[in-house]
Amino acid sequence: MNIALAQLNYVIGDIEGNTSKILTQIAKAKQQEVDIVVFSELAVCGYPPKDLLDYPSFIDRCETSLEIIRQNTEGIAVLVGSPSWSGLTKGKKLYNSAYFFANRTLLRRIDKTLLPTYDIFDEYRYFEPNEVFECVEYMGEKIAVTICEDLWNIDDEKLYKVTPMDELYRQKPSVMINLSGSPYSYNHVEKRRTRMQLNAKTYGIPLFYVNQVGGNTDILFDGGSMFINRVGQIVEECAFYEEDFKVITWDSKCIYKDNHQDYYDYDIGLIHDALVMGVRDYFTKIGFKNAVIGSSGGIDSAVVHAIAAEALGAQNVKAITMPSQYSSTGSIEDAKKLADNLGSPFSIIPIKEVFDTFSETLAAEFAGTESNVTEENLQARSRGVILMAYSNKFGNMVLNTSNKSESAVGYTTLYGDMCGGLSVIGDLYKEQVYELARFINRYGEVIPFEIINKEPSAELRPNQKDSDSLPPYPILDKILFYYIEEKKGWREIVAMKIEGVDEMLVRKIIQLVDRNEYKRFQASPTLRISHKAFGTGRRMPIVARYNH
């Protein structure tokens, strides 16, 4: 039996466009004498469709597309994901389904059993869980078809009471096929592989696993579709961050050799590729071609500039450096050198006159007060006004350059350096930003070494350094990681006895994180590369009293 893994990049809501891509792959599969071509979870509508699922017309359009797909299955079998009406009088109106078409006939509709409601997932909001477990018989084989989460309930820490493959295994299937929509995070690649390998090993059945690829707003899908033999070895694996199409000739009597790519839990190359894909797809899918960046001569804007240049083409990324009276000559020169290295258009727009005008306008109101962070923020907001004006005039989307460390503790200015249509590195701690800069320079200087080596500074007052307000980033990032990603309270973090960390510092940092929730609530979408990014997957109350 020839089984094809069709790993595609879908656009959420573009049902007709997605269907066209699916039909193209079906035609390709027919040419290569494929018996079954498999697409990913909710391929027809794109994943995750969120509240588009609440519109009956949206589901009706999906059903129309499914009918078109069915009519094109002469001489081939197709497994494709789509929402479907449940037809239930009690319960949710929809199922998350996989349609098994063969020779223009619907052999079976398989509905998803396990509906995740953690982190970025909220599937029980829309779908009813499946309660019927039946294999599909095709070409003399019994096929256990599951959808994404259905294969994740297998380790010692099970989230669900039922395990779909335990039910299907009783029917003695010879092969498993899983349609997936599994997003990327830097600790997820090996976890996903391990779980899927464990399924094959546990049940002694080979697994064909198809994931989607591409960026959908903040959520990034890395692909990595694969065929795993019955002893749990990865035999074939699709590309990461690219559409791919692989045909595997499968014989139930054979065991195939391990042939997977070497990627690990934390790979800076994968993070880099994820961000490049995320920027490219964000712009492409909403119809933007050009970006504008406030280029400060610092590490954050430099890394964002380099990623955007790779994603969009350097000529499509406008860099504007906006020096104040406190900006160093070196920062201006470094920003210019970066633009030259990349080949991006570059402008210098000083903000002194803008800032002076704001100061004069507010002079009467501020009379008798000392200069403080207000004046610092006015400089940041002056830059934000300039960037947004450029965006309005020329149609370039502003890219936000804040990192996760800054966002976590509120070391950012609302309506100033927080402005932008997309946050590119908002899920990277400062130390990761440096690591990414070094990766970008792996073949030679792209980001000037002066930028990487200089001490971080917002340059909003004389001789300012980030360390004036924050602990060293290696220490800050550790505290933030344990609090945000690992969800540890201050007592637990203090008990870890991290060098340079005491109770007062831990409690101060955690208070800063909690106090600045209102800022992050207003931030632009952030490309997600960790398992606990700010945004969709972290839902903390803004108005609350709690002490971790």
| Cβ count within 10 A of residue 543 | 6
The alpha helices in 102-256, defined as continuous H runs, are 164-169, 189-203
Q: According to the model, what pLDDT value does residue 316 have?
A: 98
Q: How confident is the model at residue 229 (pLDDT cuts 50, 70, 90)?
A: very high
CATH topology (fold) of 270-470+516-521: Rossmann fold (3.40.50)
| Gap between the Cα atoms of 319 and 336, Å rounded | 9
The strand pairing partners of 78, in sequence order, are: 37, 101
What value does the mean pLDDT take over residues 267-278? 95
Q: How confident is the model at residue 468 (pLDDT cuts 50, 70, 90)?
A: confident
| Gap between the Cα atoms of 391 and 398, Å rounded | 6
Q: How confident is the model at residue 544 (pLDDT cuts 50, 70, 90)?
A: confident
Residue 470 DSSP code = S
Q: According to the model, what pLDDT value does residue 199 have?
A: 97
In tens, the pLDDT along 397-442 reads 999 999 999 999 999 999 999 999 999 999 999 999 999 999 999 9
What value does the mean pLDDT take over residues 14-27? 98
Q: According to the model, what pLDDT value does residue 251 have?
A: 81
What value does the mean pLDDT take over residues 321-329? 89
In angstroms, the Cα distances linking 73 to 22, 27, 66 are 11, 9, 11
- HSE-up of 482 (CA within 13 Å, CB side)? 22
Lowest mean pLDDT among 138-142, 329-333, 346-350: 329-333
Catalytic, 41? Answer: yes
Is 2-253 a domain of CATH 3.60.110.10?
Answer: yes
Q: Which residue out of 21, 45, 62, 112 is catalytically annotated?
A: 112
Q: How confident is the model at residue 545 (pLDDT cuts 50, 70, 90)?
A: confident
Q: Which of 499, 495, 494, 544 is nearest to 517 (CA)?
A: 544
Domain boundary assignment for the chain: 2-253, 270-470+516-521
Backbone angles phi, psi at 404, to 5 degrees: -70, -35
Q: According to the model, what pLDDT value does residue 435 have?
A: 96
Backbone angles phi, psi at 43, to 5 degrees: -60, -35
| Gap between the Cα atoms of 440 and 444, Å rounded | 8
Q: According to the model, what pLDDT value does residue 460 have?
A: 66
In tens, the pLDDT along 50-63 reads 999 999 999 999 99
Catalytic, 148? Answer: yes
Catalytic, 499? Answer: no
Which residue's entry shows tokens 């995750």? Answer: 48
Q: Which residue out of 41, 128, 149, 310 is catalytically annotated?
A: 41
Q: How confident is the model at residue 257 (pLDDT cuts 50, 70, 90)?
A: low
Single pTM value for the model: 0.94
| Gap between the Cα atoms of 247 and 2, Å rounded | 6
Q: According to the model, what pLDDT value does residue 342 have?
A: 98
Q: Which residue out of 45, 62, 135, 148 is catalytically annotated?
A: 148
In tens, the pLDDT along 439-461 reads 999 999 999 999 999 887 766 66
In tens, the pLDDT along 529-542 reads 999 999 988 989 99
pLDDT of residue 94 exceeding 90, the answer is yes
| Cβ neighbours of residue 362 closer than 8 Å, sequence gap 6 or more | none
